[in-house]
Amino acid sequence: MSATVMDNPLRAGVRLERTADPCTVIIFGATGDLTKRKLVPALYRLVQERLVPGEFAVVGAARSEMGHDDFRAKMKDAVAQFSEAKRVDEEVWDSFAQGLYYLPVNIDSPDDYKKLSDLLDQIDRERGTQGNRVFYLSTAPALYAEAVKQLGQSGLVNQEKGWRRVIIEKPFGTDLATAKQLNRDIHEHLEESQIYRIDHYLGKETVQNLMIFRFANGIYEPLWNRQYIDHVQITNAETVGVEGRGGYYDKAGVVRDMIQNHVFQVLSHVVMEPPASLGAEAVRDEKIKAMMSARPFTAERVRNECVRGQYGAGSINGKPVPGYREEEGVPKDSTTETFAMVTMRFDNWRWSGVPFYIRSGKRLAKRVTEVAIQFKDAPHQLFGREMMEQVAPNQLVIRIQPDEGITLRFGAKVPGQVTRIRDVNMDFRYGASFGVQLAEAYERLLLDCILGDPTLYARTDMTERGWEIVMPILEEWAATKAEAPFPNYEAGSWGPQATHDLLASQGRRWRRP
């Protein structure tokens, strides 16, 4: 990018939103599911909301043969079906569609990149997109490295004429070795500042709100440590099963699919120290620093502090559902875990001695993601032991989905002559407080990438650290596959009994979310 960008005096003021450079977004995997469900609806919204400039274009690329107009028609249907508003504004669409193109591209074929390059140059000339490009890799993960290599060799990610960025979808590797290999492969052709590894959890408003909650309010931070906090529970529960992706899921399991990436991102927001600034590197430095202090798992810790589970038949919301091994694409004797509980410990001044209990799984009782901070008991039982036994310690719950909000539980006197205490919940719900729609994660993330802000994307070190932490768990469980007592929880329950026993043995219990 040229270093002599002149400032724009008309941009000043509180009302005008951040604005993006002119650019072209190229989607590899444009005939796929994610493109029609999320990406194109999000791009359309960005145009509609004036968050991207007029000098903007989108190029779809995949192997299927089709013309620009076919692609436009398909994408128009997709926006009508999958956008929040479920409708398309004809005039806005027409203007968006003028900048919407399709090119048949095989990721393996160098010739196709030549064609792509020609098309992009033509778009730069016709639409003033200034050579700035985002390449979005929404294809099978096996193709990420090849796509980056080809982009590198064809010169398409060379930043002499405009900036070039690459968004990489999940999953990022299948274990530490493959994640490292993938990082090495892409670093051969890209600077870290060009790489945007998506974690759509980070695009969620409430995950971002965790930072606001912690660091914009003065009152919580002094309590946010081992002095006052007994332990932390993070629950990430889905009610769905494998939804026709049994083949993929059976190779992954919940640790790879959810914990290593999404749950760790949420966790790092809870554990991190206040960053020096909100700059992308400052925030990501603190997150990685927090995760670096996570105590490594040993085989013994895996046996004593972690629990794996796989669901059997049961029922969800009153409707019978099959067990995991009966799902399509799943082997009858599968030993893949669909549930995991792990106990994380952080060896640093702030968190020494505070366990973080994390559970994540499919086919659980309720769809919910939340962080519950359990405070210590009041230091002196002023009101007598019996009385205090019926009040639970203070608890602060940050709900991430659905029904985003914050609940604080504390003891209060029950009105009357005698002193009786009971727990009350003070509940704050975004939905009940602001009737406004929360922005879609993909919109926010795409815009951030176009704006060149990687704060909400995972950095190399974080992707590798996530894997590093979970590898001993994956290895221990793989080595003891035969012993896995699967299935060991009923669909529609809160996971294996062992998770409850584990907490009970430490004098604690799982919260019912």
Partner 1 sequence: METQTHNSSAAVSVSGIDVSKLEKELAAMWQPAKNEDGTVAEAGTTRVCVLNLIVYAAQQEDRAEIDQLLDEVTEQTPGRSIILVADRDSADAKLEAYVSTRCQTSSRGAKQVCGEQITIEASGPVIETVSTAIEPLLMPDMPVFLWWKDIPHYEDKLFNRLVGLADRVVIDSLAFDHPHEDLLRLAEIIRTNPQFMLVSDLNWGRMTAWRSLVASFWDVDDYRPLLDQIDTVIVEYDPPDVAHSAIAPQALLIIGWLASRLGWQFLGQAPHSDGQTTHFTLQALGGREVKIELRALPDREGRDGWLASLTLRATQAGAEFRVAMNEAGTKLETEARIGDAHHVERVVAYEQKTEGQRLSRELGLLLRDRIYEAAVTAAAQLLAALSQS
Residues in contact with ligand NAP by the rule CB under 6 A:
28-35, 37, 62-64, 105-108, 138-141, 143, 169-171
Q: Which does 431 bind (CB under 5 to 8 A by kind): partner 1, ligand NAP, none?
A: partner 1
Q: Is 219 in the site for partner 1 (CB under 8 A)?
A: no
**Min CB(304)–partner 1 separation in Å:** 41
Q: Which does 183 bind (CB under 5 to 8 A by kind): ligand NAP, partner 1, none?
A: none
Residue among 333, 140, 354 at smallest CA distance from 248: 140
Which of 265/488 has CB closer to ligand NAP?
A: 265
DSSP character at residue 425: E
Burial of 211 (0-12, 13-18, 19+ CB in 10 A): middle
**Integer Cα distance of 459 and 268 in angstroms:** 13
Q: Is 16 in the site for partner 1 (CB under 8 A)?
A: yes
Nearest to 18 by CA among 41, 62, 64, 49: 49
Q: How far is residue 175's CA from residue 479's CA, in Å, rounded to a whole number? A: 15
Name the residue with the smallest CB distance to ligand NAP.
Answer: 32
3-state secondary structure of 100: strand
Among 382, 435, 482, 505, binds partner 1 (CB under 8 A): 435
* Start-to-end C-alpha separation, the chain: 49
With CB under 5 to 8 Å by kind, the binding choice for 81 among ligand NAP, partner 1, none is none
Number of residues that bind partner 1 (CB under 8 A): 41
Task: Indicate which of ligand NAP, partner 1, none lies near residue 87 (CB less than 5 to 8 Å, by partner kind).
Answer: none
Interface pick for partner 1 out of 92, 278, 299, 504 (rule CB under 8 A): 92
- Residue 180 CA to residue 478 CA, distance in Å, equals 20
- Output the smallest distance, CB 99 to partner 1, in A: 8
Site membership for partner 1, residue 118 (CB under 8 A): no
H and E: helices and strands count for the chain: 18, 18
Residue 130 contact, options partner 1, ligand NAP, none, Cβ 5-8 Å cut-off depending on partner type:
partner 1
Taking residues 19 to 58 in sequence order and writing x for each that binds partner 1 by CB under 8 A, - otherwise, the string is xxxx------------------------xx-x--xxx---
In degrees to the nearest 10, what's the CA dihedral of 182, 188, 194, 200? 0
Q: What is the CA angle 17-125-62, rounded to 5?
A: 85
Query: What value does the CA radius of gyration of the chain take, rounded to a whole number of Å?
Result: 25
Q: Which residue bears the tokens 């650290």?
A: 465
Nearest approach, Cβ of residue 186 and ligand NAP (Å): 14
Question: Nearest distance from residue 5's CB to partner 1, in Å?
Answer: 6
Catalytic site residue from 262, 269, 380, 500: 262
Tell which one of 37, 115, 127, 180 touches partner 1 (CB under 8 A): 127
Is 87 an interacting residue with respect to partner 1 (CB under 8 A)? no
State yes or no: is 189 an active-site residue.
no
What the block records as the tokens of 279 is 């700059």
Burial readout 13-33 (b: 16 or more C-beta within 10 A, e: otherwise): eeeeeeebbbbbbbbbbbbbe
Give me the torsion for CA of 289, 290, 293, 294, rounded to 10°.
-140
Q: Is 218 in the site for partner 1 (CB under 8 A)?
A: no
CB of 31 to ligand NAP, least distance (A): 4
Q: Which residues are catalytic?
A: 262
Using CB under 8 A, list all residues that contact partner 1: 2, 5-6, 8-17, 19-22, 47-48, 50, 53-55, 89, 91-92, 94-95, 98, 127-128, 130, 427-429, 431-436
